[in-house]
Amino acid sequence: MRLRDKVVVITGAGAGIGRATALLCAEEGATVACIDRDPAAAEAVAAALARPGMAITADVGAEAEVAAAMQAAAARFGRIDVLLSNAGFGIQGAVTETTEADWDAIFRVNVKGVFLCAKHAIPIMAARGGGVIVNTASNIAIVGIRDRAAYVATKGAVDALTRAMAIDHAGQGIRINAVAPGPTATSYFEGMLARSNDPAAFTAALAARSPLNRVAQPEEIARAIVFLASDDSSFMLGATLVVDGGHAIW
């Protein structure tokens, strides 16, 4: 088990990649604190873990809630070994179609959330000699895509912030990396599908971005995250692991 006896805190744990990763971390031996803004979703995932964990309700864009969540996990389990900053959402539209309110809202969660979680987890990790942080970025920060300007910008920021934090905190024994998934069958994907005028064509177009001609399953991204969270990636620092079925090279 690659995460035996590790304490893992994961945001956005209630669904999709977060849920799959929380479940896999527990299967790999970790004690998992599941953070989600939806208390029922957090509780449901915590109840499904292979070993006892905990559910925490928090908005990652609210500093007081993030600070309380990190302290709650550390108080319950004695430490935080791994932080998986996964909470996020997407919106559609070019910059000319994106409202200021939507721009601010997505940056609040996708970027500020990563910043706040790291800010409040790092001192807890450093006090015990180190830890690991894995941020969820996206392959579209590398390849770009139509009509997702705000989302692309947030994920580019996560990619850059990952490298900056990695340099700043390596001396404290903290490894920080990111994973960059391609299109994945999550609730975000399902929401876009529901809004599409032609769901079949929409699904086919997403699948066609990969030479494998399909989208990822959340469990496939979870396996990459667990690799980055474990000692198997012990010499990786400030890296972004692209898991997109070849989209970035296609």
Q: Tell me if 29 sits within 8 A of 2, measured CB to CB.
A: yes
| Residue given tokens 């898991």 in the structure block | 243
Global confidence as pTM: 0.96
pLDDT single digits (tens) 90-117: 999 999 999 999 999 999 999 999 999 9
| Domain regions of the chain by residue span | 7-181+217-243, 184-215
pLDDT of amino acid 194: 78
Strand order in the sheet with 31-36: 54-57, 31-36, 7-11, 82-85, 131-136, 174-181, 240-243
Predicted confidence band of residue 248 (pLDDT cuts 50, 70, 90): very high
- The predicted-structure confidence for 12-68, as pLDDT tens digits, reads as follows 999 999 999 999 999 999 999 999 999 999 999 999 999 999 999 999 999 999 999
- Lowest pLDDT segment from 78-87, 124-133, 197-206: 197-206
- Does residue 135 surpass a pLDDT of 80? yes
* Mean pLDDT for all residues in the chain: 96
Superfamily name and number for 7-181+217-243: NAD(P)-binding Rossmann-like Domain (3.40.50.720)
Count of C-beta atoms within a 10 Å radius of residue 201 = 10
Q: List, for residues 188-236, the tens digit of each pLDDT value.
A: 777 777 788 888 888 898 899 999 999 999 999 999 999 999 999 999 9
Just list the catalytic residues: 151
